[in-house]
Amino acid sequence: MPDRVLNFANLPRSAITAKALTICLKCAFDFFLEELHLSSSETYAELQSHTPEAADFSGAATSRPHFHSTAHQTNCPYCHASKRWFAVFRAYQIYAHSAFEPFRASVWAKLERQGIRFALSSSTLSRQEIFFAWLEELKHRVGKQNPDWWQDTVTATISFFHPSREWDEISQSLIRRITVKGALASDWFYADGVLQLSPTLYGKALLVDHLIARALPNENRRRERRLSLPEFLKRLEDTGFFKSSSSASNDDQTNFEQAVAALVAYSPLAVYYAVDRRDYLQRLNSIYKSYTE
């Protein structure tokens, strides 16, 4: 039966990132009981309020008792406890865009009425920090060994900067070619396997890819990603990006910094998080009962 509480129907799927994180309750109980010498009831009270941080879900700072489990994982990687000790948190990350912020706020109001099941929060990151955090995650998906790096970069760029329900309808598998076109009525247009991008959007994708490529050793970059800064800026200028995004300078580094600043300015204003704790609270209650019986 579908969960009617988690109804994101009015929000574009491209703006939502869903992640799961497993916790080993054996590790958690052992820490409070054996290391801190709390009673089982005190431990239960402490764990009832527990919610992992965003860095736990992203993998940037995941540590015991949390881990990212696989479908076939049957034991805790830390204490080797069986799967019956596992509980799962499900996090929904939504980037704030003015086009659908009222819908996002309405969803959050409904989740707030669910009591302790959901932990709701928003980031205190600046637009620049939001952009580079997103870029760091994208880098791991479109790195050196990905044959579809350009298409993945373009589609991720659209989802990050221009999420929409119209974009949700475009299947990545149907995109056979990506082009740039100066006379588009919107940021992108798709027809018959061809995805056309406006010069500004195409420039955004080029910049995103160049920033990722700069983070890779030169020998690990594909030939088309081994552009010097002047070569890259010339390519960016040829798309018409600078006409709408920044003013030209005689200094390449200044032009590059202006282009990145313009890109960051398009980023979402905030990031909202909703962590669904239902499975965790149910498993926690079951485990606590086994300690008190």
State how many domains the chain has.
2
Say what the pTM is: 0.84
- Give the rounded percent of residues in the chain with a pLDDT score beyond 70: 92
Tell me, what's the pLDDT at 221? Answer: 52
Whether 3 is covered by a domain: the verdict is no
Whether 156 is covered by a domain: the verdict is yes
Q: Are 134 and 260 part of one and the same domain? A: yes
Whether 8 is covered by a domain: the verdict is no
Q: Are 133 and 255 part of one and the same domain? A: yes
Whether 108 is covered by a domain: the verdict is yes
pLDDT, tens only, 187-231: 999 999 999 999 989 999 999 999 988 877 655 555 556 678 888
Which residues constitute the domain of residue 214? Answer: 128-265
Q: Left if phi > 0, otherwise alpha if psi is -120 to 50, otherwise beta: which for 95? A: beta
Tell me, what's the pLDDT at 81? Answer: 96
Q: Are 57 and 147 part of one and the same domain? A: no
Q: Are 112 and 191 part of one and the same domain? A: no
Q: Virtual CA dihedral for 283, 289, 290, 293, nearest 10 degrees?
A: -170
Q: Are 185 and 228 part of one and the same domain? A: yes
CA distance 188 to 282: 45
Q: Are 133 and 251 part of one and the same domain? A: yes
Q: Are 180 and 58 part of one and the same domain? A: no
CA distance 111 to 274: 8
Whether 33 is covered by a domain: the verdict is yes
**DSSP states of 70-128 as a string?**
-TT--B-TTT--BGGGEEEEEEEEEE--TTTHHHHHHHHHHHHTTGGGEEEEE----HH
Q: Are 231 and 115 part of one and the same domain? A: no
Whether 213 is covered by a domain: the verdict is yes
Whether 41 is covered by a domain: the verdict is yes
Q: Are 168 and 228 part of one and the same domain? A: yes
CA distance 221 to 197: 24
Contact 16, 94 (CB under 8 A): yes
**What mean pLDDT, rounded, does the chain reach?**
89
Q: Are 90 and 140 part of one and the same domain? A: no
Contact 130, 267 (CB under 8 A): yes
Find the DSSP H helices in the chain.
Answer: 25-30, 40-48, 54-58, 101-112, 127-141, 149-161, 165-168, 199-214, 229-238, 241-245, 252-265, 278-292
Q: Are 115 and 27 part of one and the same domain? A: yes
pLDDT, tens only, 25-54: 999 999 999 999 999 999 999 999 999 998
Tell me, what's the pLDDT at 1? Answer: 45
Whether 6 is covered by a domain: the verdict is no
Q: Are 35 and 63 part of one and the same domain? A: yes
Mean pLDDT, rounded, for 265-290? 94
